[in-house]
Amino acid sequence: MEIKSIMSPLSKTAIDELNAGDMVKMTGIIYTARDAAHKRMIQLLNQNIPLPFDIAGQTIYYAGPCPPKPGQVIGSAGPTTSSRVDVYTPPLLARGLNAMIGKGPRSRAVIDAMVEYKAVYLAATGGAGALIASCIKKADIVAFEDLGPEAIYRLVVEDLPLIVAIDCRGSSLYS
Amino acid sequence: MREIDARTITDVVESLCIDAACDLGHDVEQLISDAAEKESLPRAQYILNQLIDNIKLAREQQMPICQDTGMAVVFVEIGQDVHITGSYIIDAINEGVRRGYRKGYLRNSVVKDPLERVNTGDNTPAIIHIEIVPGSSLSITVAPKGFGSENMSALKMLKPADGIDGIKAFVLDTVKAAGGNPCPPVILGIGIGGTMEKAAYIAKKALLREAGRHNPDESVASLEQELLHSINALGIGPQGLGGTVTALAVHIETFATHIAGLPVAINMQCHASRHKTAVL
């Protein structure tokens, strides 16, 4: 079983080398955001207000973790269903979002925008919350703290196990 | 008349919430291990092995298996010779859920109003089903339900003429439409018969059965086997990324119904099929 190591943020060259079906382990920086945080980011964009972090080149992880126990970096932190943020995703890809991590298929509009802006979608294992938390070495709230588990966190991850589900050419494991 | 203090119920519900979230049943774990052995597609094995590691890690560190620690569904069977003292049983259960989710560092995932959508902050209210049974014991089962899979559930009022073929087609269509969203490999709870709400209720109760154990009725058991085989032939696989294990088990419960109807409810359950029971 060949498993590639990749670094986040991903370069366009690295994205180009990923093919649907590849098994990878990701190390680096990723940002969490789910439904409510996406909705707010789009509202900011519509009002021409800068986002709380520069999204260009970055990776977003669709997740709303459990609260950490004392001494823990983060609680269980598996992926949530990606399709719920499909409606918000193309404008973020247009602003340079490079990679997304979640679970489940994406809409045609998202896949088309991924091809246009050369982005990749990786599947994390839904329900592997404790295992994924063990790959998260640091977690800091970046924005929308009032949203609780839906706040945006900046995570430092090490060897996060993922599968390339849709590559930058639009090839998808779901179809 | 046996008396049970409501505070005991609160304490039991509190610990059941934490146990259910962190300690997956060995029956489900065994089915996932069996699936990992059967599965030949490397990426499907990659996923199933992660699930096994995750179950062990969650148990060791008392961490939730999945961050979606669900809406707490609580099934209570009260012996008719039991008298609850101290406070109202519903309040006692909700207090147990409130404490369990706080002490276990579980995620609060409940909004007070389905339209206004403001988080209640303590994962209450629970969904509580109470049945009166003979005897003087009290059984409480906490089954936290995540909504990745709950959202993929379906109910259809079939016509009697649709028969078994109609049921099979409905089940397969529902599993296909769900694809990777309910976190396969899934367990399907299917309720056939009754009325609309009875079908849904027995579909959910079917999920409480020991994973993979068949219905004692032979014809129902063979329908379970046939459906499991057909679902796994769909190729959806773990997480919907391909493979031969889409479902771990199919559990069907049936009930008497009306001459004009054939209600069928499908309750989709992800591989984190969590439930714990205590008997007082």
Task: Give tens-digit pLDDT for B233-246.
Answer: 999 999 999 999 99
Which CATH code fits A3-166? 3.20.130.10
Indicate whether A1 pLDDT > 80.
Answer: no
Sequence spans of domains, chain B: 2-20+65-145, 148-273
CB A59 within 8 A of CB A100: yes
Indicate whether A140 pLDDT > 90.
Answer: yes
Kindly indicate whether the ipTM for this predicted assembly is greater than 0.95, answering yes or no: no
* Per-residue pLDDT band at A148 (split at 50, 70, 90): confident
Q: Does A133 contact B270 at a Cβ distance shorter than 8 Å?
A: no
CATH of B148-273, one of 2.60.34, 3.40.50, 1.10.4030, 3.30.1330: 3.30.1330
CB B123 within 8 A of CB B110: yes
Q: Answer whether B53 touches A (CB < 8 Å).
A: yes
Choose, out of B52, B62, B63, B271, the residue to mutate when testing the contact with A (most A CBs < 10 Å).
B63
Sequence spans of domains, chain A: 3-166
Digit-coded pLDDT (tens) for B123-176: 999 999 999 999 999 999 999 999 999 999 999 999 999 999 999 999 999 999
Residue-by-residue DSSP string for A75-91:
S-----BGGGGGGGHHH
Tell me how far apart the alpha carbons of residues A58 and A100 are, in angstroms, rounded to a whole number.
Answer: 9
Of B45, B182, B36, B21, the residue nearest B102 (C-alpha): B21
- Work out whether the CA dihedral B233, B273, B208, B173 comes out positive or negative: negative
Residue with tokens 């990777």, as numbered in its chain: B180
CB A76 within 8 A of CB A66: yes
Whole-number percent of chain B with pLDDT over 90:
99
Tell me how far apart the alpha carbons of residues A17 and A136 are, in angstroms, rounded to a whole number.
Answer: 25
Mean pLDDT of A25-48: 95
Selected catalytic residue, list A26, A32, A33, A38: A38
**What count of CB pairs under 8 Å joins A to B?**
130
Strands A23-32 vs A152-166: parallel, antiparallel or unpaired: antiparallel
Residues 231-250 of B with CB under 8 A from A: 239-242
Of B115, B114, B120, the residue nearest B101 (C-alpha): B120
Mean pLDDT of A116-138: 97
Digit-coded pLDDT (tens) for B105-116: 999 999 999 999
- DSSP secondary structure letter of residue A144: -
Name which of A64, A75, A174 is nearest B105 (Cβ-Cβ): A75
Tell me how far apart the alpha carbons of residues B252 and B244 are, in angstroms, rounded to a whole number.
Answer: 22
Q: Does A129 contact B53 at a Cβ distance shorter than 8 Å?
A: no
Angle at the Cα of B117 (from B113 to B123), degrees rounded to 5? 75
Q: Does A127 contact B43 at a Cβ distance shorter than 8 Å?
A: no
Task: Please count the other Cβ atoms lying within 10 Å of the Cβ belonging to residue A97.
Answer: 22
Indicate whether A106 pLDDT > 80.
Answer: yes
A38 catalytic? Reply is yes
